[in-house]
Structure formats: structure tokens, C-alpha cells
Structure 1
Amino acid sequence: MRIDLNLATKPFGRARLFWTISGVAAAMLALVAAGLGWTYYANQTVSPETEQARIEIQRELSELGGEEATLSNDLRQASTIDLYDRSFFLNQLLTRKGVSWQKTFEDVEQVLPPRVLMMQIRPEVTFENKIDLEMQVGAESLGDFIEFVTALEKSKVFGPPRVRGYNPPNENEPYHRYLLSVSYDQQL
């Protein structure tokens, strides 16, 4: 009597099929890698038209760089700086002349209560081309001044007022004097 025993812990498997499939997959991967490498190498060469366009753009860029350097040097010269400063000053002067005193007084008159006296008013044009009014007003009482500030706040032409100072009445000046600034929306 004969008994077949396999004393191995793991029985014999099909290794030949595994190695065949692995070899075919490796060969296909190598072919794909070779194809990608060839495509990359073939695209590394630049067409003559593209190279000519690149050279032309670089030439234009260097010309513009030289022109920029020349203009920058011209702008840094003292005479150009003086001309720019004079132009800026004249433009600011024209803007300030554009503030209408008549319109300013008409707008202030609309909000000024009867017992408040406008003692001094000075318009100032800011860098944003907005107008700030510096005002010194005299009031017979604190209630009159509060009425004026409330009228300024309710007005569509004036911004919120900012009180900057106060002087009480004395023997020479019978009014409570207030220094305030307010933004003014007169179109320039």
C-alpha cells in the first residue's frame, strides 16, 4: 500500500503563470516609458518660428528696458522735479479757487441758528479733493451751540462735526466760542 504525503507547509503553486504575466506587464511598461521619453525628447526641440518670435520679444524687451532707464533718469533730474512741484502747486491752487464762497455761505446759512454767530470760516481742500471747513462760532448759550451741531449732523451737505476747542466768554467777548471742523460736500 502506498500513501502520498506532502510534507511541505505550503503546497506547490502556479509560479509559471505569475512570472509570465509579470514579464508581459513589465515589457508593456517599458514600452510606454520609452514612448513617453521619445515624446518628451521630440518636444524639446523648438520650431524656428517660435525661436524667432522669442528672439524678437527679447529684443523689444531690452529696448523697452533701455527706454525706461532713460525716462527714469529724466524724471530724476532737478529741473523735472521743479517742474512737477510747480505743476502740483498750480493744480492745487486751481482746485482751491474752485471752492465757491457764495455756495459755502448759503449752505452754512441754512443750518446756522439765529443766536449763533459765525466768527471765522476757513475751507481746506484735502488730498482726496474733499473740503473740510474749520469754523469758529460764537453762541449765547450751550443750548444754541448744541442746536447748531444737531443741524450740521442732520444736514446732507455737512459731515459729522468735530469740536476742537472752547473759549468761555470774557469781558471783551460775550459769546461762548467754539472751534470745530466739519467735512463739506461741495462738488468741485
Structure 2
Amino acid sequence: MARTILDDVIDTDYGWLDLAWTDGFGLDGDVDALFEGQANGLVGAASADGVHLTLARRSGGSQVTVTLHDVEPALPDDAWEDVVEVSTVVTEDAAPRWVSWAGEDSGPLPVPPGEYRLRVSATGRDAGRDGEFADEVVDRYAVDLWPAARATDAILRVTSSDAASWHEARGSRP
């Protein structure tokens, strides 16, 4: 069974979108810390307080859909150009929500406590980077969560030059 818990155009600045489990999660000036020990450069899951997503657009709206699954979903089709997986834990006392840059916008994310695998699939990252101030939506993101034991992060697909650049810049942090 799958349940969509967010399906909206999210306005961000600096391509910043957090899935925050606690009030303490957010930018503290050290973005690299969010990616410590990871191979990918798009989804920072090194903090126990939440997960950071780097969207392609500098500013404006990106389509974001978050779906909660009972079991691991099938890999997305090739229309999804870039795909990354990370692990995260939502604690019993968590108050899950999504938050844009500097808390400018936010909303609830009804994610029950537990260990999860989180897959972020993206399409339009190059268009998002090139049209960073476009009036219309040019990039889309699908975030899938399902119960799973902790595992190392994984880059499953890289098609866009934008994703490749972020992986190279941030990935493989010791």
C-alpha cells in the first residue's frame, strides 16, 4: 500500500528543502556536515534530525511528491533522470514536517516513527538549473519512504549534468 502525504509545488530559495524530524534541524552554516560519510551530493542524511534535499532551482516552485509505502517500491522508470537513496530514522518524539530555506514555508509530513529508506527521484534538474527563475515549474521530485534497516546511501541513476556536478562537489565525504 502507498499513501501520498505531500503533492504540491514548493517554493524554495537556493534549492533548499528539508524533511525535518525535529525543531533543531536546519542550516547551521555547515552544509557539508549534512553529507558527511555519503557518496551522493543531492540528499544529505547524516543528521539524526532530518534529511536535506538539494533541488535544482535557485528560486521558485518545484513539484514535490512524498509517498509513504509499506514495502520498497519498484525503481522509477527512465523518465526520472536522477535517483538517490539514503536511510533515515524518525524517532518516537519526532514532529515530521517539510521546511523550505530559512523556514520561509513549511507543512506537516505524517510519517510514523521508524527506520526508513528514502528514495529521491528527479527529472528536469538541468532545466531547473538553467531556468532557475522561470515562472513555471521545470523540475519535479518524487520522494518515496518505506520501512527498511539502515544502509549506506546509493546513487542509482545519474543523467543530468546538474546531479553529476553536485555528486562530484559533495559526494564521498570521509
Q: TM-score range by the shorter chain?
A: under 0.3
Higher RCO, 1 or 2 (CA under 8 Å, sep at least 6)?
2
Normalising by structure 1, we get a TM-score of 0.22
Which structure shows the higher helix fraction? Answer: 1
Structure number with greater Rg is: 1
Which structure shows the higher strand fraction? Answer: 2
